[in-house]
Structure 1
Amino acid sequence: MNSNYSTTILVVALVLASVAIAGVPGAVSAQESGEVIGQPDISFATATGEVSAGTADELSIAITNRGSIDKGGPSQYENRVTTARGMTMSLDDSNVPIDVQAGELSIGNVPTGSSQTTVPIEIAEDAASGTYKIPVEYEYQFSRVVDYDAYGTDYSDFTRTRTGSITVAVTDDARFEVVDITGTAQIGDDSDVSMTLRNTGAEIARGATVGATSRSNALTFDSGGPSATSYVGDWESGETRNVSYGISLAPDATQRGYTLDLTVEYQDANGISQSSEPMTAGVEAIDEQAFAFSDVDTSLRVGEDGEITGTVTNQGPQSAKSVVVRYADESATMVPIEESVAVGSLDAGESASFRLPIEVTSSAEASPNLIDFAVNYRNADGDRRAYDKLDVRADVAPERDQFTVELAEQTIETGGSRTIAVDVTNNLNETVTDIEARLFADDPLDTGDADTGYVESMEPGETVTVSFELTAASSATPDKTYPISFDFRYDDQRGNSQLTDTMRVPINVVESSGGGLPMPLIIGAVVLIGGAAAVLWYRRQ
């Protein structure tokens, strides 16, 4: 019993020991040895399609390492011998019409499989259609042989330099260039700009459109957006096409050059959609159209019609057609009799005179005023435009009588009547017509029936004499001054009837001069004579 038990324990112990030894990593391999032999196998290809002459492009290069195993072994050692470590490469463009815009390229480790790298290139304008081989010189390090045994690993490392090539296909498709630009962009206005482009390629561009995009928010197209397109149709090699765009430049834009990016979209000879290389076009900005006033003169007075005269000058930079000077103020006390006056077309630097009649209401105050004006005009395209950065300083004079009156003789005898001659002067700055003058007097003065006078017309500053009848009652106190009053109704220059305020003028009453009896005695004598005549007539009867 004890013998069998001991044998069982020994067997179990041996089994456990063998399992433990098998479970230790490398326990078996540590007893192995061997040799792995191999090397990288590098090739190159172009992942880019056809490129066009006269363009810049990115050349995508595919690098493939297929690896070569002459004697196999553990995978880590096979990977070691097939990996190209620290690989560099350079392209020799000396014999091709392709300029490689890069020197030596550092690729790094290249295991088996494929990877890609890109280099910028420029294809010459005169590059003929066809394929071109570009030599590729590349260098890397690798382990040719790996020897391994229980005591370690030994690597046989080498540096290898090789030459391969890539093939680039060049096509002479439609290509384009900007030949000429005409037109400028005026600040604060719409303008037209035209461009001439040429197809410098060897192929036709079918159904071509030219797209333009502004790089500045200040410059927009007539659509209101930052870009526009122009259709030009089929475009043969060597032909030129003109495209025009309506553009707008903001009023606060800076006077400088503005850049447009141009692209031609078309179909090639095979019906495949193509997009040209981007082109640029510069558009020069010119200053905002401006006008100025000079030699301004004003004759404004409270309660009267006046005028503002002056000279308007087109300061350029463009000619202006159908120029109109316009009253643009919103004052409630100044009313334009004519809101605008046309002065014709003005070239840049040319001037013209203007006159605008203005009515100043009676509620206005006599003070200096700044009056807003504007100039309306048509630009070179016939579009209406306005320049509203103008004002005029005008002094408004105090209100005055429209007419002045002066008596040639300012006395009248008590108890007497006489014709008074009144000198009436037109104080207004305009000719007035149908002037009716009226005389007013209070007791002891009386106007009788001849209290009005009429004048057909009076020029500004003109004086006429109007006669009236005036009587002083015998009750008038000698050596006393009494007032008489006048008012005038007239038609102004616009045909509107106007009535002046009443004007008072003094007249002196003087003692009756000798050579006549006092009025009471005269009346008494008449009564006595009449009574005597009546008595005599009665007796004769």
Structure 2
Amino acid sequence: MIRKSLTLFLVIAVVASTVPVAAATSNPDIQTIVPQPTVSPGVENTVNFQLVNDPNGPENNAITATNVRVRVSDNAPINVLTERLYVSKLADGKPVMKTLRMQVPSDINSGTYRIPLTVTYEYESGTGDSKQITRSMGVSVRVQSGPRFTVTDTNSTATVDGRGTLTVTMRNTGQEAASDATFTLASNNNDIALGGGAKATRFVSNWEKGATKTFEYDARLGESAQPGNYSLEGTVAYKDASGNSKTSPSLTVGMRALPEMTFDVSDVQSSVRVADSGKIKGTITNTGPLTAHSAVVAFQSNSPTAQAVETEYAIGSLEPNESTSFSFTVSVDSKANPGPRQYGVQVNYRNGDGDPVQSDTVDLPVTVGESDAGFDIRNLESTLRVGEEGTLSGTLVNTDDDPVTNAVLRFNPAGQTITPVETEYAIGRLDPGEAREFSFDVEVSSSSSGGPRQFNFQVNYRDEDNQQRTTNPIEVRTDIGAKSDEFEVTPVSNAYAAGESGEFRVNVTNTREETLTDISAKIFPESPLSSSNSEAFIEELEPGESETIVFKLSASGDALAKTYPVKMDFQYEDSQGETTISDAYQVPVDVTESDGGGLPLGLIALVIVALGAIGFVYYRRQD
């Protein structure tokens, strides 16, 4: 019986030893694995990591985790850009790769940093129930040590369709020095060229920790570029402290494109005529963003019939929004036709780096006048002033090759505010190149306005065939001075107490360039001021001469203490014997409070009236 039992046990044991043992099954247990944890400071990094459901190795089976949700948190100073991840199912031993995006600061210390993860998943238990588990875990990243490079500042003087200097300032913010460093700046935009190409490099033999380096590049912008900000790419290739060759992460280098350097032409004037030479004048303005140094305005003409005597006009440096004048003497061929023409000017200058630059052509519209017999008015001088008579004088020159006879210069001012005393000036005979001075006395109405004025002259003459001819209008430009006062009036004695009378003394100065005679002065006081002697007379005042005149002035007793204006005008004769009444002048008079030495005049008058009324009543009662 014992033998049978032992035999049965041995048989069962042998059979059992030949049947595979069933693997153990366990609940899901999710882990993270980071194959490459190194990140670079100063740039955005991507870190790949694995989610693995394999708690006890390959000999055990783990239940598949489903609906796996991963919520990612920041770990200062690293800013994690990825917020959530999702895996529909995570089977045993089948890892799933996920990616985290994170911004690593340039000034972060080297070392290991843990990115917190909150993982929530579900699974089916052995009893058929669905369970949900939430666990905290993390992804570890390692910030590498060594040199690091940060762009601290950029500045550019490059303009659209121009060139300039791009300055880039960088600092080694790492914990080690770099040697044999090469900074390469590259442009991926066809509108930007660096040193004539798409990229340019600069070399630093030894770049200490914390040291700042500044690099300059010749930058050119195409005509299709737009003002504003552009982005360039920079990298630093270097050797670390161990002599290993390394390359920094890509650095973003900003560049601001300035607007195009442009110029504007205004106030264009032309005396150019067919078969003659004349002046083309104008004003040029720097409408660009930078100063144009050593600037020269160059005359441009596509017409063979018009040539400048000198094609360049130096204007020096011109700052932004600054304007200056230019002038060219232009000769027009006799075969040309009169009428409007379109010439042009260019500005050749140097930028702030000393590079030569040429602007686009700016249109210069002018009108070419008809051919004349060859007269020119030069050395024009004017003493014209609003409200006065002056002289307009100059020199008439025969610029033709033939003599003229019986020449008469006619002055034809436009408008009614300019009146010449004589409109013609006899010149007589003028040989070729001969000049003759002329002068016109001209009255300028007081209703006129001062400033630049253009006048027309014509020459009536007889040519070599004794034919009577008249030129086209010869235009000249001069200035009319603003209206000036005839006199300068200055009070000498002009202070009174209320209720007081006294002399009102005024100093009068002749400010004209001519002697004035029979000068009658009159004041026009208004209440509370009055005068018992309001007129004064000056026999004669030469230019700049002064004389003091005296009036009688009173201030009423109830006058307020303040300054009052007293109007004054003058009637006088000028050097031509014309009688004129001046504009009104206002002279200040100071009234102070009464000094208390007596009753105010108003009060005295009131007392007299009251006493008269009492006497009248008394007289009636006696009757």
Task: With the length of structure 2 as denominator, give the TM-score of the two structures.
Answer: 0.52
Cα distance change of structure 1 residues 460 and 438 upon mapping to structure 2, 3 Å threshold: closer
Structure 2 counterpart of 1:86: 66
What aligned pairs does 1:15-54 form with structure 2 within 5 A after superposition?
37-39=24-26, 42-53=30-41
**1:300 is the counterpart of 2:287:** no
1:396 aligns with 2:331: no
Is the counterpart of residue 262 in structure 1 residue 238 in structure 2?
A: no
Segment drifting more, 272-281 vs 355-364? 272-281
Pairwise CA distance, 1:245: 1.7
Cα distance in 2 for partners of 1:47, 1:219 equals 40
Amino acid of the structure 2 residue aligned with 1:319: T
Residue 170 of structure 1, CA deviation: 2.8
The one-letter amino acid paired with 1:85 is A
Q: CA RMSD in A?
A: 4.2
Over residues 226-272 of structure 1, what are the superposed CA-to-partner deviations in whole Å (9 max), with x where a residue is unaligned? Answer: x4333334322211111112212233433323333333333333444
Aligned to 2:176: 203
2:98 corresponds in structure 1 to 117
Residue 229 (1) aligns with residue 201 (2): yes
Deviations 1:141-166 (A, max 9, x none): 55676xxxxxxxx9787666666655
Q: Is the 8 A contact 2:157 2:163 kept in 1?
A: no
Deviation, 1:374, is: 2.2
CA distance in 1, matches of 2:235, 2:57: 52
2:434 corresponds to 1:458: yes
Cα gap change, 1:307 to 1:56, in 2 (>3 Å)? closer
Match 1:58 to one of 46, 56, 59: 46
d(CA) in 1 for partners of 2:135, 2:373: 113
Deviation at 1:98, TM superposition (A): 4.5
Equivalent pair of 2:63/2:123 in contact (CA under 8 Å): yes
Q: For 1:161 and 1:345, locate their aligned partners in 2 and report how far apart those are by CA, in whole Å.
A: 74
Q: Is the CA contact 1:290–1:314 (under 8 Å) kept in the aligned structure 2?
A: yes
The residue aligned with 2:148 is 175
- CA deviations 1:416-460 (Å, max 9, x no partner) are xxxxxxxxx9864x5x7xx78799xxxxxxxxxxxxx99695237
Q: Is the 8 A contact 1:214 1:261 kept in 2?
A: yes
Aligned to 2:214: 242
SS of the equivalent of 1:300 reads coil
Structure 1 Cα separation of the partners of residues 75 and 261 of structure 2: 57
Q: Which residue of 2 aligns with 1:337?
A: 309
Q: Deviations over 1:379-431 (max 9, x none)?
A: 22222222344233332222233489xxxxxxxxxxxxxxxxxxxx9864x5x
Count of matched residue pairs:
383
Q: Partner amino acid for 1:374?
A: Q
Within 2, Cα distance between the matches of 1:261 and 1:309?
49
The match for 2:85 among 105, 109, 113 is: 105
Structure 1 residues 37 and 246 mapped into 2: Cα distance closer, same or farther (>3 Å)? same
In structure 2, the residue matched to 1:407 is none
Moved more, 331-340 or 114-123: 114-123
Equivalent residue number for residue 341 of structure 2:
369
Give the distance between the partners of 2:236 and 2:320, measured in 1 at CA: 38
Separation in 2 of the partners of 1:403 and 1:162? 105
Cα distance change on mapping 1:340 and 1:49 into 2, 3 Å: same
Measure how far apart 1:191 and its partner are. 1.0
Give the unaligned 5+ runs of structure 1: 1-31, 72-77, 146-153, 405-424, 440-452, 463-501, 508-541
Measured in 2, the distance between the counterparts of 1:186 and 1:457 equals: 51
Per the TM alignment, residue 282 of structure 1 is displaced from its structure 2 partner at its CA by 3.4
Name the residue aligned to 1:356.
Answer: 328
Q: CA separation in 2, counterparts of 1:136 and 1:403?
A: 97
- Matching residue of 1:482: none
Distance in structure 2 (CA, Å) of the matches to 1:103 and 1:351:
59
Match of 1:189 among 134, 148, 162: 162
**Residues 263, 278 of structure 1: 8 Å contact kept:** yes
8 Å CA contact 1:322, 1:343 repeated in 2:
yes
Q: Deviations over 1:109-136 (max 9, x none)?
A: 3242444222223445665433345566
Tell me the amino acid that sits aligned with residue 116 of structure 1.
Answer: M
Q: Cα distance, 1:363 vs. partner?
A: 0.8
Task: Rate the CA distance shift 1:370–1:198 in 2: closer, same or farther, 3 A.
Answer: same
Query: Equivalent pairs: percent with the same residue?
Result: 30
Pair 176,37 (structure 1): closer, same or farther in 2 beyond 3 Å = same
Letter in 2 for 1:392: L
CA deviation after TM superposition for structure 1 residue 92, in Å: 7.3
Aligned AA (2:209): S
8 Å CA contact 1:53–1:172 kept in 2: the answer is no
Give the counterpart of 1:131 among 112, 122, 141: 112
Aligned to 2:530: none
Once the two structures are superposed, residues 187-226 of structure 1 have per-residue CA deviations (whole angstroms, 9 ceiling, x without a partner) of 221011212111112122333233334465433323243x
Which structure is higher in RCO with an 8 Å CA cutoff and minimum separation 6? Answer: 1
Specify the SS of the correspondent of 2:50.
strand
Code of the aligned partner of 2:310: E
User: Deviation of residue 48 (structure 1)?
Assistant: 1.4
SS at match of 1:358: strand
Counterparts in 2 of 1:125 and 1:299: CA distance versus 1, 3 Å: closer
Are the aligned partners of 2:296 and 2:316 in contact in 1 as well (CA < 8 Å)?
Answer: yes
Which position in structure 1 is the counterpart of 2:191? 218
The 2-side partners of 1:358 and 1:385 are apart by 25
Match of 1:325 in 2: 297
Letter in 1 for 2:162: D
TM-score by length of structure 1 reads 0.59
Flag the structure with larger Rg: 1
Does the 8 Å contact 1:402/1:426 carry over to 2? no
- Distance of aligned partners of 1:391 and 1:459 in 2 relative to their CA distance in 1, 3 Å threshold: farther
